[in-house]
Amino acid sequence: MTDYVRKILTSSVYEVAEQTPLERMELLSERLRRDILVKREDLQPVFSFKIRGAHNRIAHLTPDERRRGVICASAGNHAQGVALSATRAAIRAVIVMPTTTPVIKVNAVRRLGGEVVLFGDGFDAARAHAATLAERHGYVFVHPFDDPDVIAGQGTVGLELMRQHPGPIGAIYVPVGGGGLAAGIASFVKFLRPEIKVIGVEPEEAASMKAAIAAGKPVPLDQVGLFADGVAVRQVGEETFRLCRDLLDDIVTVSADEICAAIKDIFDDHRAITEPAGALALAGLRRHVELGQAVEGPLIAINSGANVNFDRLRYVAERAEIGERAEALLGVTIPEIPGSYRAFIRLIGSRAITEFNYRYASGANANIFVGVKLTRGDAEKAEIIDLLTAHGLTVTDMTDNEVAKLHARHMVGGRAKGLTDERVFRFQFPERPGALLKFLEGLNDAWNISLFHYRNHGADYGRVLVGVQVPADTDKDFIDHIDAIGFPYWDETENPAYRQFLHAP
């Protein structure tokens, strides 16, 4: 540990990297009633802490190694660090990246002067190919984590933390992929202030350090999830394992939904958008606090990076409320009779409905997929389920059902056999508590609802697609009736999307 402290204190990272701020999470601290801070490594020149280790390794190259050039394998953040550092030093840099790497990271590496080679479906395949190219062409391999100079470079994060927060610290939460950042931070912090807990955080679907510690040696995972691609490592390094095994106080694993919730927390507090791996440490911190497992004192999480594809944010926004237990997804069976919707919504009461999917099917019962906004987490969800069950409804909790969250919620319905006289309308109404109930109250039981889809998107206006069975001789009466409701609407009966996918010929 003494050797690593010396290497950290004499590292060359500040030729390229910057000392990043340590910022308090005001909103989250108030909500969780703890003093929570984040280290903003997303503000580095390449939007990730990886510049530190990459530059420190390249700074230690010999003249002969500089002439040969460098090569690395990376999902993106280490690649950007190597590309920038090598370009600054006028050294050739070949970067092998998995074919699954987000486009934003590939383009960033090219802009920084790296020669990109796309190979394999994950980091391990890319690393093996990089090793082959290094042997064939004589490049110097710059390891993303299992190298003493890289570990020391990452350890400067710990050095800065000790300077920025000289007062008491309960625990520092660090994201773990290959283990370089955790090993570096723990080496410095445990040497200087051993009373501070250093806790590693891994995704449930890529917990390679936890598996290694359990096995007593680095072991490969059978499968690695790619949601948090910055830490999607199948097997940790020998050196990082040795250090993390001895220096980390604990390792906590979190779900993708919890990571999404942490991304939202950082945005709410700092208006900054992190990549999934960047919010990983905060997700682990939140889990420990919510389970009552966090130690006393201020808690620090490392925001490790912000290299995220913009289109990934659609998934993040969809899952964040589930991750913070602010939305329940329920499958509910109600009687297939007029007025059942209204009765169901009345049971929900003043709670905000975030989603409501239904499609007519012949039979005595109807199945609906409903999302309900929660203010008191799982306890409130249990109250809702008990209330619905007490009124004779069958309820299935789908909040943690991956198939329901990813697929079924968007596929409820289809073509209904034997359905006649269906008209389809799109309605718009102000998005405020009770607006959906007002809409349903305005519909008359004389016309049967045959299709219903509503999703709260956080906008000022709610949007509903409704199918209603309207016999031809009541058409004028129906139009007069929906005119009286007062909400803008559009007749979508001839819309090609409806005719092709939902209409029953």
Amino acid in position 427 = F
Instruction: Kindly state whether residues 27 and 162 are assigned to the same domain.
Output: yes
How far is Cα 280 from Cα 175, in angstroms, rounded to an integer? 6
**Nearest by Cα to 143 from 225, 79, 85, 201:** 79
Instruction: Kindly state whether residues 290 and 346 are assigned to the same domain.
Output: no
Amino acid in position 412 = V
Of the pLDDT bands very low, low, confident and very high (cuts 50, 70, 90), residue 295 is very high
Is 23 in a helix, a strand, or coil?
strand
pLDDT in tens, 107-161: 989 999 999 999 987 777 888 999 999 999 999 999 999 999 999 999 999 999 9
Beta strands across the sheet bearing 22-24: 22-24, 36-40, 299-303, 171-175, 197-203, 250-254
Q: Show the tokens assigned to 119.
A: 């190979």
How far is Cα 308 from Cα 301, in angstroms, rounded to an integer? 19
Instruction: Kindly state whether residues 474 and 449 are assigned to the same domain.
Output: yes
Q: Show the tokens assigned to 356.
A: 């409501």
Q: Indicate if 12 belongs to the active site.
A: no
How far is Cα 457 from Cα 460, in angstroms, rounded to an integer? 9
In the DSSP assignment, the letter for residue 20 is P
Domain that holds residue 442: 325-501
Residue 406 has pLDDT above 80, yes or no: no
Instruction: Kindly state whether residues 189 and 310 are assigned to the same domain.
Output: yes
pLDDT at position 277: 95
Number of domains in the chain: 3
Instruction: Kindly state whether residues 493 and 400 are assigned to the same domain.
Output: yes
Task: Choose the final residue of a domain: 291, 319, 347.
Answer: 319
Instruction: Kindly state whether residues 163 and 223 are assigned to the same domain.
Output: yes
Instruction: Kindly state whether residues 188 and 287 are assigned to the same domain.
Output: yes
How far is Cα 423 from Cα 491, in angstroms, rounded to an integer? 8
How far is Cα 371 from Cα 382, in angstroms, rounded to an integer? 14
pLDDT at position 376: 87
Instruction: Kindly state whether residues 32 and 180 are assigned to the same domain.
Output: yes
Percent of the chain clearing pLDDT 70 (strictly above) = 93
Instruction: Kindly state whether residues 58 and 126 are assigned to the same domain.
Output: yes
pLDDT in tens, 159-181: 999 999 999 999 999 999 999 99
Q: Active-site residue among 74, 85, 304, 450? A: 304
Instruction: Kindly state whether residues 116 and 175 are assigned to the same domain.
Output: no
Listed in sequence order, the DSSP H helices in 168-251 are 180-192, 208-215, 238-247
Give 349-353's long-range contacts (Cβ < 8 A, gap of 24+): 350/433, 350/434, 351/384, 352/433, 352/456, 353/436, 353/454, 353/456
Q: For residues 483 and 477, is the Cβ–Cβ distance under 8 A?
A: no
Q: Active-site residue among 7, 50, 105, 190? A: 50
Beta strands across the sheet bearing 93-97: 115-118, 93-97, 70-73, 140-141
Amino acid in position 254 = V
- CATH number of the domain that 13 lies in? 3.40.50.1100
Task: Choose the final residue of a domain: 141, 169, 194.
Answer: 141
Q: Show the tokens assigned to 403.
A: 């198939």
**Nearest by Cα to 328 from 360, 367, 291, 373:** 373
Residue of 30 and 453 predicted with greater confidence:
30
The arithmetic mean of pLDDT across residues 8-36, rounded, is: 96
Task: Choose the final residue of a domain: 86, 115, 141.
Answer: 141
The arithmetic mean of pLDDT across residues 420-445, rounded, is: 78
Of the pLDDT bands very low, low, confident and very high (cuts 50, 70, 90), residue 353 is confident
Q: Indicate if 50 belongs to the active site.
A: yes
**Which residue, chain included where needed, has tokens 């500089």?**
66
Amino acid in position 62 = T
Lowest-pLDDT range of 174-188, 297-311, 398-412: 398-412
Instruction: Kindly state whether residues 283 and 303 are assigned to the same domain.
Output: yes
Instruction: Kindly state whether residues 446 and 310 are assigned to the same domain.
Output: no
Beta strands across the sheet bearing 327-335: 394-397, 327-335, 365-373, 353-359, 448-455, 461-469, 422-430, 489-491
How far is Cα 280 from Cα 173, in angstroms, rounded to an integer? 9
Beta bridge partners of 490: 426
Q: What is the mean pLDDT of the chain?
A: 89
How far is Cα 239 from Cα 244, in angstroms, rounded to an integer? 9
- CATH number of the domain that 395 lies in? 3.40.1020.10
pLDDT in tens, 357-404: 876 666 678 788 888 988 888 899 999 999 999 998 989 888 887 767
